[in-house]
Amino acid sequence: MEDRNYKEMYLKLMRSTEAVINLLIAAQQECEELYVNASDEDEADNNTIKILSQR
């Protein structure tokens, strides 16, 4: 019968799963930063338009 190393297979699967989860978390954080920065830029643009329209 073939000798299977279930512990090593399990550890490989868990390491890979953790790496993918970390990649997803990093992507989510980057998108959140882009969203927040875009909102700040939109607000700054709106404020500039208000100031210029008051002149």
Cα separation, 23 vs 28, in Å, equals 9
Structure tokens at 27: 């992507």
pTM above 0.75, yes or no: no
pLDDT digit string (tens) for 1-55? 577 899 999 999 999 999 999 999 999 999 999 988 887 777 766 666 666 677 6
Angle ∠(28,30,36) on CA atoms, nearest 5: 100
Structure tokens at 25: 């978390």
- How high is the pLDDT of residue 55? 63
- How high is the pLDDT of residue 17? 98
- Please name the residue that has the structure tokens 């297979």: 9
- How high is the pLDDT of residue 6? 94
